[in-house]
Each structure stands twice: as C-alpha cells, then as structure tokens.
Amino acid sequence: MSWNVIGQDLAVRTLSSAIRDGRVAHAYLFAGPNHVGKTLTASQFAQALNCIADDPPCGRCRQCDRIASQAHPDVEMITIGGLCLAPPGAAHDHKADNSRDIKICQVRRIEQVVSRAPFDARYRVLIIEPAHAMNEPAANALLKTLEEAPANVVLILISDREELLLDTIRSRTRRVPFGGSPKAAIERVLRERWNVEPGRAAELAQLSSGRLGWAVAALNNESMLEARAEGLAAAEAMAVAPLAERFAYAGSLGGSYTKDRGAVQSTLELWESFWRDLLLIAAGQEHEATHRDRLDALRPLASQCGVAPAVRTLRAIAEARQQLDENASPVLALEVMMLALPQIGATTAVRA
C-alpha cells in the first residue's frame, strides 16, 4: 500500500525520513486546516512505525490491518468525550457526559498508559484530536508526559487551531505542517478513486477550498451542501442588515453554541471564506474566489465593501472564534463581531 495520503507530500516525506533515519520524535504536532488528511496521516504513521513488512506501511500485515480497523491495543485516539482514569483508578467514559473539552482525567489516563510497555507493537502511539480542546489543567498535565515520554511511545497532537495550544506544549513537539491540496488534484482523485462524474468532481473540488476530506464527505451528505448554502445566505444577509438584525442573529447563533459548538464554528469558518472572497474580488483577484457559484451576488457586495473593511471583518471573525474557544460569552463575542462588519448598502440584492 505504502502511504496513500493525497496532497501532503511534505508531511509524508518528513515522517518517512524520520523512520528511515531512526530519528522518530517522541511527540508531533500535525497542524493545518480541517479535512486535509491529518488524521489519516497519523493512522498511517502509526502503521509505518509498527509495520512488519519491508516497505512500511504495507497496509496488509497484521499490525497495519489492526491499526486501520482501530482495533490495535497499542494505538489509541484521545478526543472529546472518551475514557479517563476516575478515582480511585476505575475507568470512566465521558461520552455520556456531553463533554466539551478533553479533561485532565483523560490525560492522567494517558500517563498511566505510557508507563507500560507496548503490548504487541514496537511503538505505542497515542493520537490527541483536537489537541486544542484540552482544557488548561489537562494541557498542563500533558507537559509532564511530553517531557518524560518513554522511547517506545509516540504522541501525535492534531489541531487546526494550533495558536490555542500552550507555547510550552508547542515547543515540546515536532511540528508537521499540513495544507490544502490543489483543486486539480482533488478533482482528479474524486474522478479516479471515487468515480465521480467530471462536472460534479469539478464543483466539489472548487467548493472544498483544498480540503479533500470535505469533498469526499460531501459526496454522500447533501446536508453539508445545504448547510453551506444556508450559511452563505446568512453571511450575505448580515452584510446588508441593520444592527438590530445582526444582534438578533448573534443571539440566535450564540444561543445554540452550548448545544453544538462544532456547528457554530463551522458557520464562522464559512463566514471567513465568504469575506475572504469579498476581499479577493475587491482586490481584483476574482479568479481566486472559492464560492464561484455565487459571484453574481458577491461582486456588488465587494464593490461596496472594499479591501480594508473586508480585512477588518476577517480579523473580527477570527477573534470571535478564538474567544469562543476560550469560553467567552458566545452571544457577547458574536455581537462584538457584528459591530465590526461594515454597513453595506441595504439595496444590494441578496440571494437566498
């Protein structure tokens, strides 16, 4: 099999060289956007570390097969709502707790796990995703493990918001950057590997913003495209809405944050792409826009907005996302963001 990660040649070369040259680090930070292959790369890195064939990862040996099926006792994913070590040492699963972060008791369990030798592999591999979801006590507790990890343990931290990680954690990991894939590469892979009709492949590649994982997920999930359309329609509407309507929308979106943090962050990520398109169009770079199916609506908005207000709005959205991650009041953070939006003429037509 070898590596079959698409569009992440630098990451694959870095990790393959580390194994070949005997320079495997005890901790890595896989940093980059969502849906670009970080988790898949982590799984295949675990395979390559433990593969018993001549050209790892082979994808066929017992070690590779068990890791791929998430059944290997020495390879584990730690995420929001998972196993922890509850006093006085009994295992507890946070899946039923509606957890919103990775807790210190989960990290305490990691400390116990890494203290034992691997059961059936050369390396014990622990993958923490999303690493920025660790609360402050958990992040501080992880520092000890990062500093004292045994030689046969590899920790992989995965994050699309690496700026939220403690500097002390980032300094103790080897950073492996991930980026988006070229549109042409995504289009080709969709056609060749998933047998997607050329027109559909081109459309999804354009909308993916370089994220192959998003394009693949959208193939069989129409709700993703519906959510995209709704989010863009809201972004367009709020661009021309008076302040009272903007605050009402902030209240509605902020009120849903406690129930579904991921959906709200996805909405804000979509808003970032919308305002980035306005910036590109205003700067004369329309050919770089992501949402090309909405250019007729974006052009008049961009002409009224201009470059500087679009830049300020992008900064405001980024600040709101960070404040939400830091557990600020969701409604207040979103209201502050709304105040930063330029007041574009309300006469502009808005597409639903």
Q: Mean pLDDT in the chain?
A: 91
Among residues 177, 212, 233, the one where a domain terminates is 177
Range of the domain at 208: 190-220
Query: Tens of pLDDT along 322-352?
Result: 899 888 999 999 999 999 999 886 444 444 3
What's the whole-number mean pLDDT along residues 292-319? Answer: 95
pLDDT at 54: 87
pLDDT at 160: 93
Query: Tens of pLDDT along 74-89?
Result: 999 999 987 887 665 5
* Together in a domain, 44 and 165: yes
* Together in a domain, 38 and 160: yes
What's the whole-number mean pLDDT along residues 125-152? Answer: 93
User: With 60 as the cut, is the pLDDT of residue 91 above it?
Assistant: no
What's the whole-number mean pLDDT along residues 118-147? Answer: 94
pLDDT at 57: 95
* Together in a domain, 116 and 61: yes
Give the residue from 35, 25, 31, 39 showing the smallest Cα distance to 177: 31
- The CA distance from 76 to 101, in Å, is 18
Q: Is residue 207 part of a domain?
A: yes
* Together in a domain, 45 and 149: yes
Q: Is residue 3 part of a domain?
A: no
* Together in a domain, 95 and 51: yes
Better pLDDT: 227 or 337: 337
User: For residue 46, what is the domain's CATH number?
Assistant: 3.40.50.300
Pairing of strands 90-93, 83-86: antiparallel
* Together in a domain, 64 and 205: no
* Together in a domain, 131 and 163: yes
Q: Is residue 349 part of a domain?
A: no
Among residues 121, 146, 177, the one where a domain terminates is 177
pLDDT at 209: 87
Query: Tens of pLDDT along 255-276?
Result: 999 888 888 998 999 999 999 9
* Together in a domain, 21 and 65: yes
* Together in a domain, 83 and 129: yes
* Together in a domain, 14 and 150: yes
What share of the chain has pLDDT > 90, as a percent? 76
Q: Could you tell me if residue 242 is left (phi over 0), alpha (psi between -120 and 50 degrees) or otherwise beta?
A: beta
First to last CA, the chain: 46
Better pLDDT: 85 or 169: 169
What's the whole-number mean pLDDT along residues 248-255? Answer: 96
What's the whole-number mean pLDDT along residues 150-178? Answer: 95
Q: Is residue 345 part of a domain?
A: no
Q: Could you tell me if residue 173 is left (phi over 0), alpha (psi between -120 and 50 degrees) or otherwise beta?
A: beta
pLDDT at 220: 86
**pTM, 2 dp:** 0.85
Cα distances (angstroms) measured from residue 34 to each of 104, 150, 161 = 25, 30, 9
- The CA distance from 10 to 5, in Å, is 11
* Together in a domain, 67 and 171: yes
Identify the H or E element spanning 91. strand 90-93
* Together in a domain, 298 and 318: yes
Q: Is residue 350 part of a domain?
A: no
Q: Is residue 352 part of a domain?
A: no
pLDDT at 297: 93
Q: Is residue 284 part of a domain?
A: yes
Q: How many domains does one find in the chain?
A: 3
Cα distances (angstroms) measured from residue 236 to each of 255, 264, 288, 292 = 21, 17, 19, 14
**Cα dihedral sign for 195, 196, 199, 204?**
negative
pLDDT tier for residue 155 given thresholds of 50, 70 and 90: very high
Q: Is residue 2 part of a domain?
A: no
User: With 60 as the cut, is the pLDDT of residue 277 above it?
Assistant: yes
What's the whole-number mean pLDDT along residues 198-207? Answer: 92
Identify the H or E element spanning 177. strand 174-177
